[in-house]
Amino acid sequence: MTSAAASFVSATVTERPLLHFTPPKAWMNDPNGLVYFDGEYHLFYQYYPDGLEWGPMHWGHAVSTNLIDWQHLEIALFPDDNGMCFSGSAIVDYNDTSGLFNGESGLLLFYTAHRVTGDGHDDYEQDQCIAFSSDKGRSWQKYAGNPVIPVPGFRDFRDPKVIWHAASQHWIMALACGQLIRFYRSENLLDWTLCSEFGAAEGAHTKGPWECPDLFELPVDGGQGSRWVLIVGVGAGEDSWGSFTQYFIGDFDGIHFHNENEPDRVLLMDQSRDFYAVQSWSDTPDNRRVAIAWVNNWLYANKIPENGWRGMMTVPREIRLVSTEDGVRIGQRFVAELDECSYRQHKTIVAETRRQGTHIDLATAQSINKPLRGLLTLKMEKDSRVALYLSQTQQPDLIFQLDEMGVAMHYQRSGQNGCEAFDRYFPFSVHLPVTDGSDSVSLEWISDNGCLELLVNDGLYSLTALQLCHSAAEGHHAAKMVVENGEVLIEKSETRIPD
């Protein structure tokens, strides 16, 4: 929740989501600089305050004590003679390693300065810069010695992610460089040395550049040691379904990242269209790995409907590692702070069977036009097919069916507010394998104004999608499930409306 969407009334009138972060006005894209310091979660973001399409990039800024309720602060970074302020990260310099805080602790932002050098689309250069704050992030000063890593001789060189690597006792920076990731190291946060490169022959490559890296270590559920995770955004290319997010599982020794999967194995953080520029918070007090993403796709981001603002983030999610038959994989769940919200109503269904041509309301009529949070567990016979109307409109948000290989899911929404680019690129189908032979499917979901988030089978799969369906002419009804083929047992359904 943000100050601009603090109640159901304001959320309905402004068509803002209640549970998803949005900018105070104008354009927003990538989350940046996620850090926890002195009781506050900081969320920075790519921001153009003077327009509703992408423009000269600033860093917007908000803080929260609980990851749900956000307070907008003043813009943190403005473009200057060195260029626009592209994406990056933040850390707490607890020991004044940088020497910028007179022996005290402070916050450091690492960002890419993007300079236009000509009139052509490819006429630009990029280098890496620092800004710092001694007052809990309320004001920022750019480092006089910028750039800390100058232009390397090629164009795409951006989005620094800085972490502390305890084993090597060095600061590490991961940078997206064309179609690969470069790793740098430093002892003082100001002077950086190139260590290695990763990814030239690994994972997914399209005509779009790699972007927005993230790097962290996590334990594997069940006491099976730990792994390092490298997250990489893949920019929109004409040869792909737009911008998407992949990840790698392996080991990082402070110099090299080693992928433990086959080089051509592509692991996706989200199987839908609208989940990009993922970043995680550093220095969280409970050692959770909490991440957030931009809910959009560069194929249509500038064209979707707006109402004085454009862009939203996902609900924060906790990232964990789980062991599967195919190896270690990322699992996701909505942050526990959502459970601490006040819920005004809920509807629970247990052990009810529905056959072809029947439906069941998943929420009460009073839920129409309200954000919903739900949990749905189904036992499905082979070839049964279900349509979910979670955004409470006349078109299904999702159709899925069970076959011998798993669950096939189809997003087919079209004709939403006249966005031609969305109609062209958004509809898609995805097949999610069920590796344990189960005939049960579990969905944890959030339907908010403009966004649907689904976590499938305990978060092993994620599907995040825009819902461009605010039009009053479209008509609304309570969230429901329709059985289009076969027979389905609703083992449990629980739907709640947050206050």
Q: Which residues contact 51 (CB under 8 A, 6 or more apart)?
A: 26, 27
Q: Which tokens in the block code for residue 393?
A: 């409109």
Half-sphere exposure of 337 toward its Cβ, with a 13 Å CA cutoff? 17
30 is catalytic: yes
Do 114 and 83 touch, CB atoms closer than 8 A?
yes
Distance set, CA 235 to CA 33, 152, 210, 462 (Å)? 20, 21, 6, 19
Which is the catalytic residue, given 30, 93, 159, 270?
30
Helix (DSSP H) and strand (DSSP E) numbers for the chain? 2, 34
Query: From start to end of 8-149, where are the E strands?
Result: 26-37, 40-48, 58-64, 71-72, 84-93, 106-116, 124-133, 141-142
Residue 223, number of CB atoms within 10 A of its CB = 6
Do 241 and 427 touch, CB atoms closer than 8 A?
no
Pairing outcome for strands 398-403 and 487-498: unpaired
Adjacency order of strands within the sheet including 372-380: 343-355, 487-498, 372-380, 440-448, 451-456, 461-466
Which residues have a catalytic role annotated? 30
